Amino acid sequence: MKKRLGLILMLSVVGLLLAGCTEFNEPIYEDSEGFWNKYIVWPLVSLITLFKELLGTYGYGIIAVTIIIRLILLPLMIKQTKSSKEMQEIQPELTALKEKYKSKDAVTQEKYRTEMQKLMTERKINPAAGCLPIFIQMPILIGFYHAISRMNSTPEIEIGTFMGFELAEISITLAIIAGLMQFVVLRTGPAMGNPQMKMMMYIMPVFIIILGSTILPGALALYWVIGNIISIIQNLFIYKPFKKEEEPVKVGGKKK
């Protein structure tokens, strides 16, 4: 688990570097130089603007493009979510193996790794299966963040308001809504019944609220809100959180 989290962190850092963080608050135009600007940020800005013209406001434009992006990424996100669910389901057995082979000597640890790999093979689980979707999603999702932020920094673009919220300014209300919805996403998804992720269930919402209340414009908080709504719907279908509480815990492939 630690190796997997380390890999995810590494991929996140690489994604941020590829995203060109130094340009995060610079204006964006059609003739902006660089691969990132020409092929990711500007196309996203153009798409948001197109839907703004069709639907009337940048708020609706952001919502429309968020939905489109999440639908495109849906197969990858479902694969990632299912991988997390499979890992969650075998946690009792992994914990039992860890307890059985808790001695730190080389021979015992080798037996532990062998038994763990055997369990993974029998259940047809690949621990790294959830990492590839993250790697593929990262440039697209960070590009969307860049597009909104740089639209906000471009004088020719007036993002305006949406349902009374200032999209170009910090919106504490939207940030709080986004944070609370992130809690629901984790509560109905991978953090459910997984002690190793319970801390994340509280850290991530607070992190989003702090960022949305101090640094990022309301447009990005709106993006978080819409994205989280889609994630909650996805979790309800895949994890079935309310039904899961009624199911017996499986240990060693048998119901307890």
Among residues 161, 156, 160, 159, which one has the least CA distance to residue 32?
156
- For position 193, what pLDDT does the model report? 59
Assess whether pLDDT exceeds 60 at residue 237: yes
Identify the band that residue 40 occupies on the pLDDT scale cut at 50, 70 and 90: confident
125 vs 218 pLDDT, higher one? 218
pTM for the model stands at 0.71
Residue 15 within a domain: no
Q: Verify that 95 and 67 share a domain, yes or no.
A: no
98 and 115 fall within a common domain: yes
Q: pLDDT higher for 195 or 121?
A: 121
120 in a structural domain: yes
Q: Does residue 146 share a domain with residue 80?
A: yes
**Pair (149, 209) in one structural domain:** yes
Does 6 map to a domain?
no
Give the model confidence (pLDDT) of 76-86 as tens digits.
777 777 777 77
In a domain, 251, yes or no: no
Indicate the average pLDDT of the chain: 76
Interval 104-120 mean pLDDT:
81
- Domain of 173, in residue numbers: 27-87+130-245
117 and 150 housed in the same domain: no
The count of structural domains within the chain is: 2
Domain boundary among the residues 124, 148, 180 is at: 124
Residues 159 and 218 in one domain: yes
The reply to whether 103 and 135 lie within a common domain is no
Q: Residue 199 domain-assigned? A: yes
Domain-located, residue 1:
no
pLDDT digits (tens, 9 = 90+) for 115-174: 888 887 877 776 666 566 666 667 777 788 888 888 877 877 888 888 888 888 888 999
* Residues 100 and 197 grouped into a single domain: no
Same domain for 141 and 221?
yes
Is residue 138 situated within a structural domain? yes
Same-domain pairing of 71 and 197: yes
